[in-house]
Structure formats: structure tokens, C-alpha cells
Amino acid sequence: MAATTITTSRNAPSAGGPTTIAELIRAQWGDHRAGVKSGEGTLTRHETAAGAAARAALFGDLLPRGAEPHIGVLLDNVPEYPLWLGAAALAGAAVAGINPTRRGPELARDIAHTDCAVLITERAHLPLLAGLSLTVPPERVLVVDDPAYRALVEPYEGTRPDEITTTPTPASRMLLYFTSGSTGAPKAAICTQGRLAAAGHSLVGYLGVRRDDVHYLCMPMFHGNAVIAGWAPALAGGAAVALRRRFSASAFLPDVRRYGATYFTYVGRAVQYLLATPAAPDDRDNPLRTGFGTEAGAVDAARFADRFGVRLIEGYGSSEGGAALQRSPDTPPCAIGRPAPDDDLAVVDPDTGAELPRARLDADGRLLNGDQAIGELVNRGRSSFEGYWRNPEATAARTRGRLEGRVGAGWYWTGDLFFRDTKGFFHFAGRTDDRLRVDSENLATAMIENILARYAPATGAAVYAVPDPVAGDQVMATLALRDGAVFDPEDFVAFLAAQPDLGTKMAPRFVRTVAELPVTATGKVHRVALRRAGFRCFEPVWWTPMGLGRPGAAGPAASAGSSYRRFTGEDRAALLAGYRAHDRAHLLER
């Protein structure tokens, strides 16, 4: 689920609950229980409210007349991050999470695009800003670990939250967070105080958040996952948060024990990194109750529960808040879940908008009618999508707002592929650009990845399309191998042959082996980079020239002898000649 974060279905606040984040910040005043834990110590909930109020007052004086009330935050997960989130809420301002893995003009573009009036950063990130033409003047670039910053904040200390004269409403912008799209400039999704507060309230109920819980935030706070699924429910449920500057697999359990963490969020590869750490006899000796996130996969979720004694709850929600699915106790392991009863989610043909037939699965879980059942997930009813900042074209494209009179205009189009089984459960099948078409058969990358996740020598797998020299696509997989493991082609063929749900076209034609999968700044597998490299990469590639099909299958696919061999320079030259002969070489650059 690239470019997704976890949100809730309708994001409606609980009856009588606070409808803004500002109200939740004010409610912390006088509460002397732990609020923010980190390597720098512990702030009580009262202290976090006081710190937010001081920074809100400072921001009010720094904000130029007529400027957008936007605060760029270029920080790791340090206590100043939630303090400035609280300050923005009280001041009726929006935090633009600035990604520290961006560089040069792209970083400057993100700051300029979100109209940041003030930029909050730290010494470690100052080299990123050196030499850039910033739209924020130097006097409004605040460095939180510089003595000058402490002197700047000190006069405002003692400000009470109720002394901030701004009165935010549920419609006040709260977050501008960049989606993790891999092509084109990132889009800044808008999240209002009402939506964020509602998501917090909803997750309190869904996850059973308690006042003595501690939410461990190890995913980057510039991304929506950590704020929406970690910070907001802790704020709404009266729980504390514990901060890890940056995710560390080796520090995970020590942190969890040190802070008494009961809950954590994850995205992308975090679970696989944790499973790749050396097992210890006391792995299950931890206070965690659950983890909540996306892309762990059924196999890794089961391994995680067995090793650490912690249940992972897989969810689905678009970063922009347009659609969400929730698990229930009867959700099959490989499914995501169902929408809320009053949400109108469907799997449709992306060209016509027609709802597609339900998926048929055999006894082994193999999808029998992928050609008919896989389509794009849409929300045909009311959604929480609030648009992209200063990007009307992208906003219109998400809702097909320029297709008046046509089916699908006004719906929320997720950009994700799904299929829906006969019991109504939705199954993730990849991004719309992750669809493969092999020998006229549509395949879902996510389903193949779920199968390859069972391969013991690998810590992770990514599946993507490479163009066939003649027509359609071929399947390519990149496997991240465990320390000390080597790729054994015969062992891999035997593994594939033993998988009952491996379809006849699913076996990879190309297998690339790496030490680690490339990831985006938010920890998700960077499939676009893998797809662009294809078989033209530095790492070892194994292939079967005729394609494997399903090992042991009858027909042309079986004639390759069901074996892999190293992909050589001669193989590459011959294959590229085939692309040129069929005028398809340009497809390798897509």
C-alpha cells in the first residue's frame, strides 16, 4: 500500500468529544501524568501543554502579516516535534512535515511549496539547508538545540493554553504532509484539526487505548502514520508517547522495555527489520500489547506474534483520508478487512467505473478470476479527502472532478488495486502501477510477495513488472537475503513448487538478490527504483530464459527445465536486442 497511512473509516468524533486538536491540548493542562518520554527525559502532559502554549505565543509574534500560518518542521522524532504540533493546534496553524531525506532544490521546493512562514530545525539538519535559496528568512529559521532558541522561547514561558486568543475550528488546517509518491513532485495532503481529532477518537475505541498506555513513535513524524495513528490517539485517549529519534531495529526492544511501551505503529519494512535481528530467549518479555500499521503481510505478522508475543493489526487507509478498511475478528489472514457499514467502497474497472465481480479463491487461496476481479478501490460515498495544498490538478485527478457526467466523477479514487471476495472482505493487490499482465493474465504483485515472504533465506521480497520483449510483462522479484545466506536456484525452485497458491504465471522470471531492499524515506519499499533498474543492476540476477510458469506445469513454460541460472552480460545484450527488434526498448525506462 504505497502512499498510504492508517486512518479510520469515517473519522467521526465520538459523541461529545473534543472536535479540535486545540481542545485536546488544553485538556492536558493540570494533568501531571507522563506525556512525552524520550532520551531527553519525561515531560508531563501539563508540561507539554505549557510548552505548546509558549511556542504558540512565540509563533504569533513571528508570523508576518498576511502570511499563511504554516510551520515547517525539519526535525527527527524529538520532544520539540509534539510541542510544535501542539503549538500549531493552539495557534490555528498547520505543520508541514519536512522530509530530511530530501536534498538540495527538492528540499527547498517542499518548504516553499507549503508556504512555511517559520522553519523549525536542529543542528544535525543545518547542513541540508546550507546554500539553498530558502523562502524562509534566517531570523525565522529556529534551531531547537541552539542556545539562541532557548532565549527566544523563555519570555513566553508561563503562557497558558487558554491565553492563546486564536480560536481554531474543526476546519482549521492542522497538517500538510507529503505523500510518498515515487514519481513527480510530492503532493502535500491537507489534514484539518477536525479530521485529526476524529481519527484520534476513533482509534481510541478501535484499539482500546487506555490512559496508562505508552505509544512508541519510531516511525518518522514528518509522515502521517506516526502523527495520525500514534500521536493523535494517545492525545485523545490520555496516553503518553515515547519517541525514538529514528527507527532502530536493535534499539526497539530496549526502548519498549525502558519506556513501558504498550503500542507502536509501523509502515513498510520495519517488521521485517525487527524479525531480522538475532532472536533472544527473552524476546517475549516486553510490555507491548499490539502494533498497528500496514504492509507487514500475513506471514511476517504470524512470525512477529510467535516471536515477540505481540499481535499486529493490519489496517488500510489512504494518506488523504479518502477511504479506509478495518479488520474484524473474522477477517481472513490475507485480507485487509471491510469498510464501515455506512461507507460505500467498491472495486471497479478504472476505465469505466463499473463494479467488478467478486473474487473466487480455491481451497489453497489462489485467485481464480484475477482478470475479472482485480480493479481500483474507490469510495463512492462521502469521504474525508480534503485536497492537496496548492495543487488543484492533483485534487481533481483524485476525485476525477473534471469528468462531470461520467461514471466515477466525484468518487475518491485511491490508486490502489484490490479484489473483494464472496464474503465481502477486501484484499490488497498493489498500486495501480504495480499491476502485471503476463501472457494476457492480470497478476497482483502483493499476492506474489505474500508467497515469497515464506522463503526462509529471505528477509524481504519485492515484486514488480519488467516489460516482456514482445508483449505484456514479465515478473521480477528482488529478495533481501539473510546474513550469510546465498541464493540456491534449485532450492528456490523447490520452494516455488511447494507453494499451493502459486499461479501458473506467478513465478519470477528474474530474481535479483540484495542485502537490503531500497526504501523510501517513510520505510516503504521503493518499487519505482527497482522497476526502473530492472535486470540492469549491479547486484546478481538469476533468470530462466523461457520463464518458469508454475514449476512442473505442462506446456511451454515448463520447457525451461524449471531452473534458474545467472544472468550474464551476454544474456543482457541478447535480451536488449530483442527489445529493440520489437520497438519496446523505451518501456525499460518507465
Place of cell 518542521: 73
Tell me whether strands 541-543 and 473-481 are parallel, antiparallel or unpaired.
Answer: unpaired
Per-residue confidence (pLDDT) for residue 160, from 0 to 100? 98
Cβ-based burial of 127 (10 A; exposed 0-12, middle 13-18, buried ≥19) = exposed
pLDDT score at 559? 30
Beta strand residue intervals within 303-359, DSSP E: 311-314, 316-317, 324-325, 345-348
Give 538-579 pLDDT, tens digit per residue.
999 999 986 444 433 333 333 333 589 999 999 999 999 988
Among 13-27, 76-90, 248-262, 276-290, which stretch is predicted with the lowest mean pLDDT? 13-27
What is the reported pLDDT for 7?
Answer: 47
The answer to whether 94 and 88 have CB atoms below 8 angstroms apart is yes
Cα separations in angstroms, 48 against 57, 63, 86, 174, 212: 14, 22, 8, 18, 17
**Residue partners of 559: CB distance under 8 A and separation at least 6:** 546
| Distance from C-alpha of 360 to C-alpha of 253, rounded to nearest angstrom | 41
pLDDT of residue 390: 95
Burial class (CB in 10 A: 0-12, 13-18, 19+), 546: middle
Measure the CA–CA gap between 287 and 260, rounded to whole angstroms: 6
Residue 6, C-beta contacts closer than 8 angstroms, at least 6 positions apart: 225, 228, 229, 265, 292, 293, 294, 315, 316, 317
How far apart, in whole angstroms, are the C-alpha atoms of residue 264 and residue 255? 11
Is the model's pLDDT at 308 over the cut of 90? yes
pLDDT at 475: 93
Instruction: Cell 506525556: give the residue.
Output: 35
Strands 70-74 and 94-97 come out as parallel
pLDDT of residue 403: 55
Domains of the chain: 21-316 (3.40.50.12780), 331-434 (2.30.38.10), 451-589 (3.30.300.30)
- C-alpha grid cell for residue 521? 524515506
pLDDT tens digits, residue range 384-438?
A: 999 999 999 989 889 986 555 567 788 999 988 899 999 999 998 777 766 677 8
Query: What is the mean pLDDT of the segment spanning 104-132?
Result: 95
Amino acid 319: pLDDT:
74
Distance CA 291, CA 299 (A): 15
Cα(282)–Cα(349) distance, integer angstroms = 49
Does the pTM surpass 0.85? The reply is no
The pLDDT of residue 546: 62
User: To which residue does cell 510548552 refer?
Assistant: 51
- Out of 47-61, 167-181, 255-269, 363-377, the most confident range is 47-61
Residue 324 CA, chain-centre distance (Å), reads 13
Rounded Cα–Cα distance for residues 550 and 554 (Å): 9
Distance CA 147, CA 276 (A): 41
Q: What is the pLDDT of residue 519?
A: 85
Determine contact, residues 578/469, Cβ cutoff 8 Å: yes
Supply 5's cell numbers: 497511512
Confidence of residue 321 (pLDDT cuts 50, 70, 90): confident
Please report the pLDDT score of residue 184 as a whole number: 59
Percent of the chain scoring above 70 in pLDDT: 91
The residue that leads in pLDDT, 312 or 3, is 312
Whether pLDDT at 167 is above 90: yes
**Cell numbers representing residue 232 in the block:** 493523535
What is the predicted pLDDT for the residue at 550?
Answer: 40
Q: Determine the average pLDDT of the residues in 104-118.
A: 95
- pLDDT tens across 365-380, in order? 778 888 889 899 999 9
User: Of 196-200, 290-294, 576-580, which gets the smallest average pLDDT?
Assistant: 576-580
Q: Mind listing the pLDDT tens digit for each residue in 485-521?
A: 999 999 999 999 998 888 778 899 999 999 999 988 7
Q: Using 50, 70 and 90 to split pLDDT, how confident is the model at 5? A: very low
Let me know: does 340 contact 382? Beta carbons within 8 Å.
no
pLDDT at position 405? 58
- Give the integer Cα–Cα distance in Å for 468 and 438: 8
* H or E element that contains 188: strand 188-192
Nearby residues of 355 by Cβ (< 8 Å), 6 or more positions away: 346, 347, 348
Predicted pLDDT at 82: 98
Contact 214, 260 (CB under 8 A): yes
Choose the weakest-confidence range: 22-31, 175-184, 251-260, 515-524: 175-184
pLDDT of residue 508: 94
Average pLDDT over residues 517-527: 82
Q: In the prediction, which pLDDT does 312 show?
A: 93
Tens of pLDDT, residue by residue over 121-151, are: 999 999 999 999 999 999 999 999 999 999 9
Q: What is the mean pLDDT of the chain?
A: 88
Q: What's the pLDDT score for residue 554? A: 33
Torsion of CA 500, 316, 78, 177, to 10 degrees: 130
Please tell me the distance from the alpha carbon of residue 34 to that of residue 212, in angstroms, as a whole number.
9
Q: What is the pLDDT of residue 314?
A: 87
